[in-house]
Structure 1
Amino acid sequence: MSGTDDAPAERPRVFGTADSVYVRIVRLTLIEKGVDHELVPVDPFAPEGVPPAYRARHPFGRIPAFEHDGFRLFEAGAIARYVDEAFKGPALLPEGVKARARANQIISIADSYAYRPMVWGVYVERVEKPAQGEPSDEARLAAALAEADVCLAALAALMEGGPFLAGPRLSLADLHLAPMISYFQQAPEGAARLAAHPGLAQWWARMSARPSLRQLGLCAG
């Protein structure tokens, strides 16, 4: 599924914060497609809350939201798939039915099982809280690491030795998981668990060297 030849030229807008995993997923997709875009700051965790006008873009008050040529979307997965199909550039989902299903399965695993333990359970507890002078919740951290172990094992098995998560070429699956791993591996326990899966560790080294990830400050260190 390659991009169309007649996509409107209006610069897309992404609404959210630069450090959000799901905003990063959308922005990585845009960058990999070679699409210039604008990040419009919206912080759902601001003391005053979500701006009331933003609810017209996202009735649930989450980020990101997206607009292109008057067309509005919310939910990162839907936005990323739209970007892949609406713009020229390398296709970011495999052509084969089975390979495409595998990519979508990995995206679902990342959303349903990896995001919360890896980011909120491991990164926040081990990295962000101590940086703010708060104690880590060790019980929560241990539970999150156990969940992360299951996710990493499943992902490593699904890779089947490929250079990318869903086959020989970069896909939306890679761009979906990468921002989560970027946070997860900043915790010593996360880095150790990633290293225990050589295929995933090599995948992350490859991903973190990509210009798109470096542009957004997602690196291996």
Structure 2
Amino acid sequence: MRRSHPELGFRPDGKSQVTVLYENGVPKAIDTVVISAQHDPDLTQSEVRERVLEFVVKPVLERFAPFVDINVKHYYVNPTGIFVIGGPQADTGVTGRKIIVDTYGGYCRHGGGAFSGKDPTKVDRSATYMARYLAKNIVAAGLCDRVEIQISYAIGVAQPVSLLLETFGTHRVDPEKIIQRIRDRFDLSPRGIIQFLDLQKPQYLPTAKNGHFGNPSFRWEQRDSVPLFAELL
């Protein structure tokens, strides 16, 4: 939005939070949207709110209209007032911080490791990317509707010491068969993950502004192993 509409006066810093109502683990409605957006000093609070809603919030919500109720009850745009000074000048750095925002909010359990500032030999980063890749492909293959993957490592041991898979009762295939397929077909050592996801390739700059997940250009966002998992159905 900043690139396509620079005349709107928004700056790089910002944060968003969305409250989603679930029924039996299925998203049903969006209740609250909170947006903090850094902006040029000549914009008023009402101008910021109007532009954020028109150019950001409403277009994004419309994409989800086929799946959930998007009649949002509460919108909060820069609820603390003007937001002119941002970035490191206004707050601390990113290394080791915001680890929940960097992943799945409060939706999934977190091992505690950060991503930013670490090279891919650190499993805090590389194994998390791999777990996401596997989870996306497992769900896309129809083996389950929801999955959480835990990969545990020990210092000096190349392969994981533990691989756990939680489907929250949504699986259509025995989870043990899914785990065995992962062990048989994927090298989950740090070296294996780096090679499979091409993690030595310089590609991390976009993670500093748009996060680590959801960017289709990242290897760990691809779903090219769907046929491999679909064989289990």
- TM-score band w.r.t. shorter chain: under 0.3
Higher strand residue share:
2
Query: TM-score, normalised on structure 1?
Result: 0.24
Larger radius of gyration: 2
Higher helix residue share:
1
Question: Relative contact order (alpha carbons < 8 A, sep ≥ 6): 1 or 2 greater?
Answer: 1
Query: TM-score, normalised on structure 2?
Result: 0.23
